[in-house]
Amino acid sequence: MFRGTGTALITPFRDGAIDFEALTGLLNFQVENGVDALIVLGTTGEAATMTPAERDAVITHALKVVDGRIPVIIGTGTNNTATTIDLSRRAEELGADGVLVVTPFYNKPNQEGLYRHFRTVAESIRIPVILYNVPGRTGVNLSPETVLRLAQDVENIVAVKEASGDQFQCDRLIRALQVVRPDFRVFSGNDDQAFHLVCSGGDGVISVLSNVVPAQTSALMNAALGGNLAEARRLQLQLLPLMKDLFHESNPIPVKYAASLLDLCRNELRLPLVPASQGTCELVHADLLELDVLEDDDE
């Protein structure tokens, strides 16, 4: 499994359909700017709105364009264990390097249910599995104790994307993993907390930010992982406004707008998501100008 920056990739649309030309550009933009992995069809990729045929087409296209240059990991989590198994097996059949499986949403299983769900899914495939804990979206928190059980009991569960927002929970998990499974990776699911997670012994970020500033995000993670904390801290503080404003509305609403400003794709989402409000657009536009990645129209 990778260390550093994995981009939770947006899915570009044009007139309601997947824009494969823009998708090719996005994939190459990421690889050429130094990210370490791509996570396709996750929350940021609006996977919940995709048909099975669209999922297959996006996976196949991504794997063809990336062509083994970096790992391609597919989001396959649902709130139905059987469906998650089907999607994970399909991702494996198509050649994915791993899958990202979110905690089941809406059902609100207890910790034993979460353990059995993830174990059953992972044992149905051979490729690596990344757990995804995002209680703000799913309504359930994957506890450090359950992650530790899974890390000890299931060999191909290799990492967790931690987006609980609870740094103490992350620190407890990292501390315990050093004893029971030191090769297990812990990634931040929140861009603004990734620097802190790496300083505590984590392994990087699965990032929304890197959709639009992949080189800068990678530089931040590489500096932190390499022990150059002064440079990492400088980049953290420089990027902090954009990190926060990309979540001023529900992800991926702001990042789609940011990507459209950079001509990476159209500012098009699928219902029930709609384009960003004027206030969010103004914040994101100002952040990109401050980072010198966007030309000022007044110049």
256 is catalytic: no
In whole angstroms, give the CA distance from residue 44 to residue 61.
18
Could you tell me whether strands 13-14 and 17-18 are parallel, antiparallel, or unpaired per DSSP bridges?
antiparallel
Catalytic annotation, pick one of 64, 106, 108, 161: 161
pLDDT, tens only, 155-201:
999 999 999 999 999 999 999 999 999 999 999 999 999 999 999 99
pLDDT, tens only, 98-111:
999 999 999 999 99
Strand partners, 18: 13
Matching CATH number, 4-227, of 3.40.50.360, 3.40.190.10, 3.40.50.300, 3.20.20.70: 3.20.20.70
161 is catalytic: yes
Catalytic annotation, pick one of 132, 244, 256, 257: 132
- Residues 35-43 have a mean pLDDT of 97
φ/ψ (deg, to 5) at 166: -105, 100
Domain map (residue ranges) of the chain: 4-227
In whole angstroms, give the CA distance from residue 191 to residue 183.
22
Angle at Cα 269 formed by Cα 268 and Cα 274, nearest 5°?
Answer: 105
Q: Quote the pTM value.
A: 0.96
pLDDT, tens only, 247-270:
999 999 999 999 999 999 999 999
- Please give the structure tokens belonging to residue 257: 């707008």
